[in-house]
Structure 1
Amino acid sequence: MKLSERPSQYAPPGSAGAGGNSRIFPRVFGVGTAVPATSYTQEEILEEFKVTDPRIRSIFRNSAIERRGLTLPPLLPDGSRAVETQGQLLQKHVTTGLAMGREAVEACLKAAGAELSDVRYLCCVTTTGLLTPGFSALLIKELGIDRHCSRLDVVGMGCNAGLNALTAVAGWANAHPGELALMVCMEACSAAYVFDGTMRTSVVNSLFGDGSAALAVLAPEGGAAAEVRERTAGPSLLRFSSCIIPEAVDAMRYDWDDDHGKYSFYLDPEVPYVVGAHAEIALGRLLAGTGLRRSDISHWTVHSGGKKVIDSVRANLGLSRYDVRHTTGVLRDHGNLSSGSFLFSYERLMAEDSVRPGDYGVFMTMGPGSTIEMALVRW
């Protein structure tokens, strides 16, 4: 039998799994988010960069985004914004990313009832810059995390990377019961902007915002202390699935632009439709062998990739506007926050207090590759 044909050994938390053993799944124990102190409406951005082209103004105004946190270039004496070099953009990536990352980590640990000294594994995710050593080393130094903390940097995977990283985090937590793992998405998207008035860059510039999100994960141990912690925990991470669309590998890119001498994003106009067309395939893979149907999923935490991609996913999966209310709310208030967007939606879901024990949920992210990542969770 081929590996892909093997029946799933999925079992709900606390039930008898393969061999009759009770399966313990890693669980989410806290989430925290952060954005820059400076934010702008779409109209303010158009004015800041003196955009007059009606086509570009229309892109900004029809984005379903009201406001985004951004770290704009410094003002020149004439009131215009400076053109930043790649070196200056990289420095923005580091300073803005670290500042937001620290704030998100502190908020996450507070929500989890944990301390920095509890962190045993740190996974940092980013796409808006490249540096060595990576954010994991810098954040350990910045926060004073134990020098023996295991770490991982997930770099360059794009908006889907939060779930790619969470797969690794959940795996580590599962192998180290009772030890806290932390994932931090640090995306200073304004460190990847090119302002040249073209349609290519304008689509990107109308969409992305700066933000960081952190998630605490732990595989519970037995005992009375664990039982107390269980009652305040978030969902169990049951399984993950991945669906890459190789024929659309160039549809979303962050690569070198010779004309400007710096990196820049590219988004193909067909991206929403390509992602939407494969959403049902990805979901089928996630639920295969579980006995669950789409109607059994009570909560959808979807990446805020943009109005068109959200609409396409919603149409192809048969989701209601209510199902994606937090996804569209995050897009409206923050724009596309890249890898951490879905955690902003998850934070809103938990604050809403609408989740009940036994509810199933799906985390979904989309990004370059083109790729759809999913996770099945249960409260």
Structure 2
Amino acid sequence: MTRIAAVHGVLPEHRYEQHEITDALAAMGAVGEGRRELLDRLHAASTVRGRRLAMPLERYAALSGFGEANDSFITVALELGERALAEALDQAGLRPRDVDLLISTSVTGIAVPSVEARLATRLGLRADVKRVPVFGLGCVAGAAGIARLHDYLEGRPADVAVLLSVELCSLTLQRTDASAANLVAGALFGDGAAAVVAVGRDHPSRRPDDGPVVVATRSRLYPDTERLLGWDIGDGGFRILLGGELPGLVRRHLGPEVRAFLADHDLKLQDVTAWVCHPGGPKVLDALRESLDLPAQALELTWRSLAEVGNLSSASVLHILRDTLALRPPLAGTPGLLLAMGPGFCSELVLIRW
């Protein structure tokens, strides 16, 4: 089985209270005349108290367009990515040259060469390191990335595989888009990065207490949902698609999906000792809790992450995994479930044994 040897999350230095971001968006003209009350209401309903941003707040109004925003993405992504990877490897007791596979994911910027390629020399990765840059999975990519590390290590059990997520959602800001979807996104999303180091069952550094193991994974695409979540990409960059039907979709599908997955491993919902869930937003989290009949405290770390840093897209579930390991480690040998949802519309489930 794949063992998760380390998880490390990082955030940009620029932190702002939610009301400061609300005021800045209003000053930039993110809402039309007479709609400030709507902006205030959406930001309050998000339950987000503060967020970290890639740049100082005052610089966003001066961005000239997608090109400048994407240049900023590359600069900050390399800084955060380097920190996340270096710290995660150090925590795992491994060196950059030990890495055999590096998967990088982001849905908030584009880089060619990709972020992990630009970091290879800076970090000291081997010239023959296998690289898989991923774009398009969005919020689900943290969970899906761990699942793909597991797939790889099942076939190469002596290897080291690493996942890097860097999401700078603030740089996708559409200042002239007053749609409900854009306003909701402006209330929820923050910036951050995370790295996960995993080792196969035969890796020589593996010790019994190195971290949780991945038992199994499941991916699921839901038909006729392509326009519920994602981007429309135009001259101004990334314009968000965020359908109001998402909570209903979660209520209909996620409960049966999770129950069937657990049943395949002779488990029930009540057997799971930790739920590591992506914080899609308050309505999605309420739907998730209802569909799985979870007690309120089961998602406490997810709600706390949403309040403190916002939705970090693919990096969020990795930050919550880190917090679970550090703050609420379950009893050894018990099952946990890591899950996220994203564009497609899709879900990814990862069964873990602590």
Shorter-chain TM-score bucket reads: over 0.9
Match of residue 188 from structure 1: 168
Q: Which among 220, 228, 237 is matched to residue 251 of structure 1?
A: 228
Match of residue 11 from structure 2: 35
Q: Which among 183, 190, 194 is matched to residue 213 of structure 1?
A: 194
**1:94 lines up with 2:74 in the alignment:** yes
Name the stretch that deviates more: 198-207 or 292-301: 198-207
Match of residue 124 from structure 1: 104
Match of residue 158 from structure 1: 138
Give the number of the structure whose alpha-carbon radius of gyration is greater.
1
Match of residue 39 from structure 2: 56
Distance 1:341 1:50 in 2: 26
Query: Scaled by the length of structure 2, what TM-score is found?
Result: 0.92
Shift of 1:276: 2.8
Distance 2:239 2:12 in 1: 21
**1:343 lines up with 2:323 in the alignment:** no
Match of residue 238 from structure 1: 215
**Contact 1:302–1:327 (CA<8 Å) still a contact in 2?**
yes
Query: Scaled by the length of structure 1, what TM-score is found?
Result: 0.87
Shift of 1:46: 1.7
Q: Which among 303, 327, 331 is matched to residue 328 of structure 1?
A: 303
One-letter amino acid of the counterpart of residue 231, structure 2: Y
How many residues are treated as equivalent by the alignment?
Answer: 346
Match of residue 342 from structure 2: 367
Shift of 1:170: 1.1
Shift of 1:219: 1.2
**Contact 1:174–1:218 (CA<8 Å) still a contact in 2?**
no
Over residues 213-254 of structure 1, what are the superposed CA-to-partner deviations in whole Å (9 max), with x where a residue is unaligned? 11011113287x64xx222x2111111112222222101121
Distance 2:258 2:302 in 1: 18
One-letter amino acid of the counterpart of residue 28, structure 1: I
Shift of 1:73: 7.0
**Contact 1:178–1:218 (CA<8 Å) still a contact in 2?**
yes
**Contact 1:69–1:211 (CA<8 Å) still a contact in 2?**
yes
Distance 2:222 2:329 in 1: 34
One-letter amino acid of the counterpart of residue 357, structure 1: A
Match of residue 31 from structure 2: none
One-letter amino acid of the counterpart of residue 221, structure 1: D
Quick one: structure 1 residues 73 and 201, their matched pair in 2 at CA, closer, same or farther if it must change by over 3 Å? farther
Unaligned runs of 5+ residues in structure 2 are 28-34
Over residues 25-78 of structure 1, what are the superposed CA-to-partner deviations in whole Å (9 max), with x where a residue is unaligned? 0110000011110011110012223356101111011111001111347747xx
Shift of 1:280: 1.1
Q: Which among 267, 273, 280 is matched to residue 292 of structure 1?
A: 267
Q: Secondary structure at the match of 1:220?
A: coil
Aligned-pair RMSD on alpha carbons?
Answer: 1.9
Over residues 73-132 of structure 1, what are the superposed CA-to-partner deviations in whole Å (9 max), with x where a residue is unaligned? 7747xxx82243110111122111111111111221122122212211100011012232
Quick one: structure 1 residues 353 and 312, their matched pair in 2 at CA, closer, same or farther if it must change by over 3 Å? closer
Unaligned runs of 5+ residues in structure 1 are 1-24
